[in-house]
Amino acid sequence: MHDYALLTTAGLESVALDALASECGLRASALPAPTARKGESFGSAGGLGILVASRQEPLAARALSAPVLQAALAVVVRCEVEDGDVLAAAVGSVSEERWRSAMRTHAAHAAPLPPSAPSFRIASLRAGQHDFDSRALSSALGAAVSALQPSWRVDLEAPDVCVLALLVNRSLLIGALLPPFSPRKSDPLPMEPRQWLVRGERAHMRPHRAALLARLLAPASGEVLPCSPRLAPSDASPEPSPGILAIEAALLASVTAHSVDLDPAAMLHARLDVGALLSALAVLVRPGGRCLLVGNAGPGGVGRGVAAAVVKASRRYPPGAWRVVRQTACASGGIACEAARGKVVLEPGFGLAAWLRLSRGADLTGGVGPLDEEEEEAWPKWSLADVASHTTPEDSWMAVRGKVYNVSPYLRYHPGGVDTLLDAAGTDATALFQQHHAWVNEDMLSACCVGTLRQ
């Protein structure tokens, strides 16, 4: 039997489980999160969610390298240590039988160990009320491994086997790190296989967490997905750098992923306040699009911190443009706040009433000339090829329900925005019109009608 522990972000375990099942065919289960006492914080250890799976055959490499995982371990020990000497109980749980079983799983995935003097390293994360620290835990477990493997030597730089110990209160997990994850000396948690750099430094978000958040947002094919990662310090002319959340979203589906930190103005807004950031995003996001803002939850969890700021700012910046649809607690004190883009905020003087005043009795055909509504048979007839030759903002035609319209005068009045209307320029847009405006009478564009569509 092969026992695995798969580490992900706490609070997003269900997202990881769904991704593993749908993308890798792996059925796993999540361990309950440890309970913190009032005023107690678990720090980095509390930000980890643990998924477990037991298999007769070794897991496929595709499952171990799933984007939503922070690490994969061959389980040595998974238990609740008894009251009393927690450190002694933790070390005593590493039996020879459990160690050999984990090493068989490790051997099924990793390169063969060197024939003489293999190396190992212990990395520990500890949280809760104990009378020892992480270094003492690592030292004691190192002694236990040396007793089981007398010929092995310690190597902190590039060990052949890295053993990770996670102790939160009395919940203990010990496992051997599996490929494609590799240990690093500066952090108990391993290096992830996907590591994009920001301005020559370490990525601003762990890639697996970005993958989880992208799957939480679940972008549909073709959707515009703007993201707002944490931004590096910037001045009036910031150096742009791609955001991991946008990259992960683009890898996940056929979406257009726009990272805020590719836009200098949005970067500066993000450093000021949430309202300015949402105003900048409103320019980038079309109606129906969504954005995901990630930050700290603040005192009290969900409904505080960045979430409270987003909820408050979404009502005003700009008015009516955003609706907060979901708040999800993740990691240790973090929160992901999803906002959906509402209607386009039109420029002053370009509302429906202004359009009705402009179009009443006017000739907006762009030079074709006004048509007699009672002589429809005599109207010009245009082929779809004719319509397709008019696709610029100054000269945009489209067909709707058999009629052809010059929509250029209407672009700035369109409640869905200029871009969405231009996307349909030069086409028969009847299906789109039915999908989004089935209740709307296209006669409001009668002043723009240039003829009928030749069948």
For residues 267 and 238, what is the distance between their CA atoms, to the nearest angstrom? 8
Question: What is the reported pLDDT for 15?
Answer: 93
Say whether pLDDT at 41 is over 70. Answer: no
Q: What is the pLDDT of residue 4?
A: 96
Q: Which residue has the higher pLDDT, 281 or 6?
A: 6
Give residues with Cβ within 8 angstroms of 353, minimum separation 6.
Answer: none
Q: What is the average per-residue pLDDT within 15-34? A: 91
The pLDDT, as a whole number, for residue 413 is: 87
Compute the 3-state secondary structure of the chain and give helix, strand, coil in percent, each to the nearest 5. 35, 25, 40
Nearest to 56 by CA among 106, 109, 105, 7: 105
For residue 99, count other CB atoms closer than 10 A to its CB: 20
pLDDT of res. 190: 87
Q: Are 388 and 254 in contact (CB under 8 A)?
A: no
**Residue 319 in contact with residue 253, Cβ under 8 Å?**
no
Q: What is the pLDDT of residue 438?
A: 63
Distances (CA, A) of 334 to 57, 266, 303: 36, 22, 11
Highest mean pLDDT among 40-49, 194-203, 311-320, 400-409: 400-409
Single-letter amino acid code for the residue at 186: S
Q: Which of the residue ranges 22-36, 121-135, 302-316 would you say has the lowest mean pLDDT?
A: 302-316
Q: Is 436 exposed, middle or buried (0-12, 13-18, 19+ CB in 10 A)?
A: middle
**Is residue 440 predicted with pLDDT exceeding 70?**
no
Q: Is residue 327 within 8 Å of residue 302, measured between CB atoms? A: yes
Partnered with residue 338 across adjacent β-strands are 292, 326
Residues pairing with 227 in the sheet: 259, 292
Q: Kindly write down the DSSP assignment for every residue of 191-211, as one continuous string.
A: EPS----BTTB--SS-HHHHH
Distances, alpha carbon 191 to alpha carbons 71, 73, 198, 330, 409, in Å:
9, 13, 16, 20, 55
**β-pairing verdict for 334-341 and 290-296:** antiparallel
Residue keyed to tokens 């489209």:
398
Sign of CA dihedral 230, 236, 241, 242: positive
Strand order in the sheet with 322-330: 256-259, 224-228, 290-296, 334-341, 322-330
Tell me the C-alpha distance between 194 and 173, whole Å: 25
Which residues have a Cβ under 8 Å from the Cβ of 435 and sit 6 or more positions away? none
pLDDT at 85 over 90: no
pLDDT at 238: 35
Q: Are 453 and 390 in contact (CB under 8 A)?
A: no
Q: Is the pLDDT of residue 286 over 80?
A: no
Backbone angles phi, psi at 28, to 5 degrees: -130, 180
The whole-angstrom separation of Cα 322 and Cα 343 is 8
- Return the C-alpha torsion angle 420, 421, 427, 430, nearest 10: 90
Distance CA 49, CA 451 (A): 62
Report cis status (omega within 30 of 0) of the bond before 180: yes
Mean pLDDT of 156-172: 90
CA neighbor of 241 nearest in space, from 250, 233, 253, 251: 233
Residue 154 vs residue 314, higher pLDDT: 154
**Phi, psi torsion values for 253, nearest 5 degrees:** -155, 175
Q: How high is the pLDDT of residue 414? A: 84
Q: Give the pLDDT confidence score for residue 33 in this predicted structure.
A: 80
- The model's pTM is 0.70
Q: Above 80 in pLDDT, residue 404?
A: yes
User: Does 129 have pLDDT greater than 90?
Assistant: no
What are the backbone dihedrals phi and psi of residue 76, each rounded to the nearest 5 degrees, phi first? -95, -50
Q: What is the mean pLDDT of residues 228-250?
A: 51
In the chain, the amino acid numbered 96 is: E
Give residue 394's pLDDT: 92
Nearest CA to 405 out of 380, 434, 377 is that of 380
Residue 37 has pLDDT above 60, yes or no: yes
- Eight-class DSSP state of 84: S
Q: Summarize pLDDT for 358-367 with one digit per residue, the tens.
A: 988 889 999 8
455 pLDDT above the threshold of 50: yes
pLDDT at residue 312, as a whole number: 80
pLDDT, residue 70, reads 93
User: Structure tokens of 55?
Assistant: 């298999």
Instruction: Please check the confidence at residue 196 and state whether its pLDDT lies above 60.
Output: no
Are the CB atoms for 407 and 421 separated by under 8 Å?
yes
pLDDT one-digit tens code per residue, 369-383: 888 888 888 899 999
Alpha helices in 60-163 (DSSP H): 61-64, 86-92, 96-109, 134-148
pLDDT of residue 3: 94
Q: Note the pLDDT tens digit of each residue in 411-438.
A: 988 877 787 788 889 999 988 887 666 6
Q: 318: cis peptide before it, omega within 30°?
A: yes
Q: For residues 233 and 63, which has the higher predicted lDDT (pLDDT)?
A: 63
Distances (CA, A) of 417 to 39, 347, 428, 451: 48, 10, 19, 25
Instruction: State the angle between helix axes of 207-217 and 244-252 in degrees (0 to 180), rounded to the nearest 10.
Output: 60
**Which structural domains are found in the chain, ordered by start?**
2-191 (3.30.2130.30), 207-341 (3.40.50.150), 352-453 (3.10.120.10)
> Binning pLDDT at 50, 70 and 90, where does residue 236 land?
very low
Span 448-453, mean pLDDT?
93
pLDDT at 237: 31
Over the chain, what is the mean pLDDT? 81
